[in-house]
């Protein structure tokens, strides 16, 4: 049985409980991070925890712990669960309060850490590419909910995911309300055309993906590429030579089809393959924890 760190204690997973009066449950009032473990190293731990605290500050949630204390708790939870490779879910909720919306009637935040294994997609998808669709539902405008906040309220993403599942695939590309490409329900998107790589800017209404940033700043330069961050039209995605997605859980994965449209030769292209291999090599050998 796995151990969960919750509010300063490590308990059996069967004993890890959150109150029905917690505003994280009642209203999606909180934030979270997903973090990977590779060969006993916690990939981009400091970057993830800093982003978590930035999300908390943006919604005026006080977790009651410092960055260093949370990092220590994560390492402690990974160690007791004996996970050399796996996935960490860090969650801050507003805590127990009233049935009203007022977040300041929740005196103490709930904090918990889960360490488990995860596998979103099959090995065949990584080799041959995955099919996705374009969601009909747009991303929530930045003016309504800043995507820099990795909120527990993921309903916009979930409804996009339902569209994908109804279409028989596992991911959907979402546009912003201006009709520009934003991101997928759980992953950032990159396109390649004539050897030039581009990805939507954070201003388009996307999460500041940490794997996305690692691909832009570390993987691409190692392979001799630069990545343009710019507005992207849907037509550019459909006409791309290659498309790939990035995310903590997904890592780097190529796209073979978007709806009925084949991308490139309808399989993972050579540049995407190079990015997948370079990413895997980097995290397997010495995953950076900063």
Confirm if 95 and 63 have CB atoms less than 8 A apart.
no
CA distance 11 to 13: 6
CA distance 234 to 173: 9
Active-site residue (options: 3, 44, 150, 161): 150
Q: How many residues does the structure list for the chain? A: 290
Strands 242-247 and 9-12: unpaired
User: Which one-letter DSSP state was computed for residue 233?
Assistant: B
Strands 196-199 and 227-229: parallel
Beta bridge partners of 35: 88
CA distance 278 to 276: 6
Q: Catalytic annotation on 193?
A: no
Q: Residue 134, SS3?
A: strand
CA distance 84 to 179: 42
Question: Nearest to residue 33, comparing CAs of 120, 110, 91, 109?
Answer: 91
How many other β-carbons are positioned within 10 Å of the β-carbon of residue 18? 16
Positions marked catalytic: 150
């Amino acid at each position: 049985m796995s151990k969960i760190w919750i509010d300063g204690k490590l308990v059996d997973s069967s004993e890890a409980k959150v109150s029905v009066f917690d505003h994280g449950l009642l209203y999606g009032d909180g934030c979270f991070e997903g973090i990977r473990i590779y060969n006993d190293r916690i990939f981009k731990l400091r970057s993830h925890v800093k982003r978590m605290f930035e999300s908390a500050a943006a919604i005026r949630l006080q977790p009651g712990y410092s960055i260093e204390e949370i990092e220590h708790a994560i390492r402690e939870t990974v160690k007791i669960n004996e996970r050399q490779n796996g996935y960490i879910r860090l969650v801050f909720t507003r805590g127990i309060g009233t049935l009203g919306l007022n977040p300041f009637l929740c005196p103490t935040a709930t904090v918990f850490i889960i360490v488990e294994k995860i596998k979103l997609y099959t090995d065949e998808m990584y080799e041959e590419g995955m099919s996705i669709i374009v969601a009909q539902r747009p991303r929530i405008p930045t003016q309504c909910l800043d995507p820099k906040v990795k909120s527990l309220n993921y309903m916009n993403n979930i409804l996009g995911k339902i569209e994908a599942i109804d279409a028989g695939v596992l991911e959907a590309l979402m546009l912003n309300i201006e009709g520009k490409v934003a991101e997928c329900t759980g992953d950032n998107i990159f396109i390649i055309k004539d050897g030039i790589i581009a990805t939507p800017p954070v201003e388009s209404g996307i999460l500041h993906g940490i794997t996305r940033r690692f691909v832009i700043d570390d993987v691409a330069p190692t392979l001799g590429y630069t990545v343009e961050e710019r507005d992207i039209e849907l037509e550019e995605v459909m006409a791309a030579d290659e498309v790939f997605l990035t995310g903590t859980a997904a890592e780097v994965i190529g796209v073979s089809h978007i709806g009925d449209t084949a991308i490139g030769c309808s399989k993972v292209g050579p540049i995407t393959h190079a990015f997948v291999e370079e990413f895997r090599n980097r995290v397997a050998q010495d995953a950076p924890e900063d």
